[in-house]
Structure 1
Amino acid sequence: MALLTSLNHRLLSRRALLSAGAAAGLSAVLLPLASEAADVIGTPAGEIRPFRADIPEAALEDLRRRLAETRWPDGETVTDRSQGVEPDRLKELVGYWQSSYDWRKAESRLNAFPQFLTNIDGVDIHFIHVRSRHENALPLIMTHGWPGSVFELLDVIGPLTDPTAHGGTAEDAFHLVIPSIPGFGFSGKPSTTGWNPQRIAAAWDVLMKRLDYISYVAQGGDWGAIISDALGREAPDGLLAIHVNRIERATTFPSDAAQALRNGGTAPDNLSADEKLVFDEARNFLNNGFGYAAIMSTRPETVGYGIADSPVGLAAWLYDKIADWVFTRGDPEQALGKEAILDNITLYWLTNTGPSSGRIYFENAMAGAKLSEVKVPVAVTIFPGEVYKPPKHWLSKAYPKLVYYNRASKGGHFAAWEEPELFSQEIRAGFKTVRS
């Protein structure tokens, strides 16, 4: 391994790590190369190393070569998205990916924030850590989902850590920790089973306390919401509250509606018109949009061969669900922009985490349903483009300490990515009671 200077490689003390992420200057210190991350695997527990993404140029050349040599499938036999991503739309995206897209811009954007690696329970965890310059900022660990990554959360770092520059007050400030889920991005890939949301939640508690945060809050959407829920069920010492922008159906549906959903039936008559709409949307998702999860819950390795070998196969796999879940249904470019979509897809490709990221579905299925209530205060924001939008009174069983519930005016499943300013306002509002 090519050695950097001893300054770059020396361990930072925990206090130094806290100050290194000060929001007043978001640039990171010189850090180890992403290509050297494998050499960090297995370092002693408790050690925290600075990290910097630096993908070898050969990997980018290989990506462009593979894109140029793509063998495309025949055209679909329908005129809509019912069979998946339309070839014309994907070909346009891939053409731009091959000829015009610049990963180095994405890499520089990521490296503008302090990043680190630490080994927890045998797996290296990559995380961004930005300290607010405001006194009494509230520590917050925020978790991404699938098919996303830390890229979907970058635009909320400024509003959350420096709220006075984004329409908030100093009392709204957070110290922010954004980890990559094991098997995603620059985090390590578990080599054994058992890394389910409960185990990840336990690792997040270790991470926050390793950073000397004795009390903190947690937030997430998609898998981040499930991991935050798991934290809330365990309620470790120091966890003050959680905020989620995605709700698990199993723990919130009325019992008769949940049974009807499992049996493929219609909405019970006792539901209101608005509740029946929620039921019908959930049933449609299970019948027509849940196949990806069924595959990864049962055979993640099988689909993994194709998405590890073909960047276009990977792009189609990820793009299909991004398109399904943004507020601008079927048009993610309008919601996110072409560059942002490709930043996320390229991260999956360069780290070969298409297969490993899918295993969280398998692990969750093996762990079984966790239906116990969340023990800490909970804040919920429902975005209109989300797949499942339960009314407030449905949440009481899962969240008996619900302290905040709001329906946002815009935004979809990837709320922080799509509407960072609005999302940040919701996080501030959701955790307001924790500060009082």
Structure 2
Amino acid sequence: MNIQPFTIAVPQADLDDLAGRLAAARWPREALGAEWERGVPLAFLKELTVYWAQGYDWRAAEARLNAFPQFTTEIDGQRIHFVHVRAARPDALPLLLTHGYPSSFTEFTEVIENLRQDFHLVVPSLPGFGFSTPVGGDGWAMGRTARAWAELMSRLGYDRYGVHGGDIGAGVSGAVAGLAGEHVAGLHVTTDPATAAATATFLPGMADRLDPADPVDAAALERMAKFRGAGNGYLAIQNSRPQTIGYLLNDSPVGQLGWIADSVERWTDLPYDRDWLLTNVSLYWFTGSGISAANFLYEQAHSTDWGAPPAAPQGFAVFGADATVRRLIDPPAGCHWTEFERGGHFPALEAPKLLADDLRAFFAPLR
């Protein structure tokens, strides 16, 4: 039950080591293929690496993150790191926010600022991600994580709360709502929880249920094809060989940067802060969590522990460039459903105010 305050303090020796590795990066002689067709373009990654080494300020990012109250606790043998921001109103509804891959708790910083007057906010790092390391054993997939989240909310004294997530976070949030339904006021997601449990954007065969002659379905198929093109490679590797790719992610900051930037660039629709990308990648680098985060997807791909279907009221916020399609999800009748024309797979990063407003609208009648 012990909860300890936590402050991010990366040793200067780690910063110096990163600078040396970036300066000594071994680049290929030439770029092959069209831009983004085979992965991250050489010129793009070189420019981003130079900025990481010479323009980006980790200490400033560290100070901004440390402005949020952070804590660690041990649950089921695993160290769990989390942000906990209490609203000024004691009767505010607690809200549990869960990130996905290749993201971190840092994705929610602007959403926290938008919601901190209305909700008590709990934002944990998934097991094996960031400061929720090292991993305390096998089996840390969505089901086990959901049980840890329910325990975390209980330790914080929250008997009734809302849950939200996207990507892996949607699957974990859905599992919390199925596991601890009597405590969950509502489940709000930006991607389908059942699909997230399969660690893919959509289940095999789902595209076959769409009609390419229908304009709405055709647009959805186009989004799916784009998402799949950027996503199948990393999923295939991390679902099967996380240890092998983990050596690259743990030893080469340029490799870790390229691995994450590939997904972020391809899956975003609106402009995002380049410094956030480097803060996110730096977090993976300094904590050595690239390999354990990759392993989370392997654990989920080989898990049958998906929990019970959520019984709580459900809300969806769907952002236009993502691959979430209402007809494929078939949400419960009367559920909250909001569609935004723009935005992609990381709405907390791309459109934090839109997401925050939708969370307020969904949970207002559920308080």
Normalized against structure 1, the TM-score is what? 0.78
**Cα contact 2:143–2:306 (8 A) shared by 1:** no
1:217 aligns with 2:162: yes
Q: Which amino acid aligns with 1:404?
A: H
Aligned mate of 2:119, from 174, 179, 204: 174
* CA distance in 2: counterparts of 1:349 and 1:221, whole angstroms: 23
The Cα offsets for residues 188-226 of structure 1, whole Å up to 9 and x where unpaired, read as: 232421111011011001000100001101000111111
What is residue 186 of structure 2 aligned with on the other side? 241
Residue range with higher mean Cα deviation, 354-363 or 270-279: 270-279
Residue range with higher mean Cα deviation, 360-369 or 343-352: 360-369
Max Rg structure = 1
CA positional deviation for 1:181: 0.5
SS of the aligned residue for 1:192 comes to: coil
1:108 aligns with 2:63: yes
What is residue 277 of structure 1 aligned with on the other side? 219
* CA distance in 2: counterparts of 1:94 and 1:250, whole angstroms: 34
CA positional deviation for 1:430: 1.7
CA positional deviation for 1:282: 2.7
CA positional deviation for 1:394: 4.0
* CA distance in 1: counterparts of 2:10 and 2:204, whole angstroms: 49
SS of the aligned residue for 2:302 comes to: helix
* CA distance in 2: counterparts of 1:104 and 1:403, whole angstroms: 43
Q: Which amino acid aligns with 1:358?
A: A
* CA distance in 1: counterparts of 2:44 and 2:139, whole angstroms: 38
**Cα contact 2:239–2:301 (8 A) shared by 1:** yes
**Cα contact 2:178–2:307 (8 A) shared by 1:** no
| Structure 1, unaligned runs of 5 or more | 1-45, 163-172, 329-334
**Structure ranking higher on relative contact order (CA contacts 8 Å, 6+ apart):** 2
CA positional deviation for 1:418: 1.3
SS of the aligned residue for 2:239 comes to: helix
| Structure 2, unaligned runs of 5 or more | none
**Cα contact 2:140–2:299 (8 A) shared by 1:** yes
**Cα contact 1:152–1:416 (8 A) shared by 2:** yes
What is residue 338 of structure 2 aligned with on the other side? 406
* CA distance in 1: counterparts of 2:213 and 2:195, whole angstroms: 17
CA positional deviation for 1:277: 3.5
**Cα contact 1:251–1:371 (8 A) shared by 2:** no
**Cα contact 1:146–1:223 (8 A) shared by 2:** yes
SS of the aligned residue for 1:426 comes to: helix
1:140 aligns with 2:79: no
What is residue 5 of structure 1 aligned with on the other side? none
Alignment of 1:40-79 (within 5 A): 46-79=1-34
CA positional deviation for 1:267: 5.1
Aligned length: 363
What is residue 276 of structure 2 aligned with on the other side? 340
| Cα RMSD for the two superposed structures | 2.3
Alignment of 1:6-405 (within 5 A): 46-162=1-117, 173-248=118-193, 250=195, 260-261=205-206, 272-283=214-225, 285-286=227-228, 289-328=231-270, 335-368=271-304, 370=306, 373-386=309-322, 388-391=323-326, 393-396=327-330, 399-400=331-332, 403-405=335-337
SS of the aligned residue for 1:242 comes to: strand
Q: Which amino acid aligns with 2:102?
A: P
Residues 301 and 134 of structure 1: CA distance in aligned 2, closer, same or farther (over 3 Å): same
Q: Which amino acid aligns with 2:337?
A: Y
Q: Which amino acid aligns with 2:324?
A: K
CA positional deviation for 1:273: 3.7
* CA distance in 2: counterparts of 1:286 and 1:350, whole angstroms: 29
What is residue 14 of structure 1 aligned with on the other side? none
Residues 216 and 100 of structure 1: CA distance in aligned 2, closer, same or farther (over 3 Å): same
The Cα offsets for residues 162-202 of structure 1, whole Å up to 9 and x where unpaired, read as: 2xxxxxxxxxx100000000111111232421111011011
Residues 283 and 326 of structure 1: CA distance in aligned 2, closer, same or farther (over 3 Å): closer
CA positional deviation for 1:236: 3.8
**Cα contact 2:247–2:291 (8 A) shared by 1:** yes
CA positional deviation for 1:269: 5.2
SS of the aligned residue for 1:432 comes to: helix
The Cα offsets for residues 15-63 of structure 1, whole Å up to 9 and x where unpaired, read as: xxxxxxxxxxxxxxxxxxxxxxxxxxxxxxx100001011100000000
* CA distance in 1: counterparts of 2:349 and 2:315, whole angstroms: 19
SS of the aligned residue for 2:262 comes to: helix
CA positional deviation for 1:401: 6.2
What is residue 357 of structure 2 aligned with on the other side? 425
Q: Which amino acid aligns with 1:305?
A: Y
* CA distance in 1: counterparts of 2:110 and 2:317, whole angstroms: 18
Q: Which amino acid aligns with 1:233?
A: G
* CA distance in 1: counterparts of 2:196 and 2:43, whole angstroms: 40
The Cα offsets for residues 138-166 of structure 1, whole Å up to 9 and x where unpaired, read as: 1001011111111110111121112xxxx
Normalized against structure 2, the TM-score is what? 0.92
SS of the aligned residue for 1:81 comes to: coil
* CA distance in 1: counterparts of 2:51 and 2:230, whole angstroms: 30
* CA distance in 2: counterparts of 1:250 and 1:104, whole angstroms: 37
CA positional deviation for 1:371: 8.7
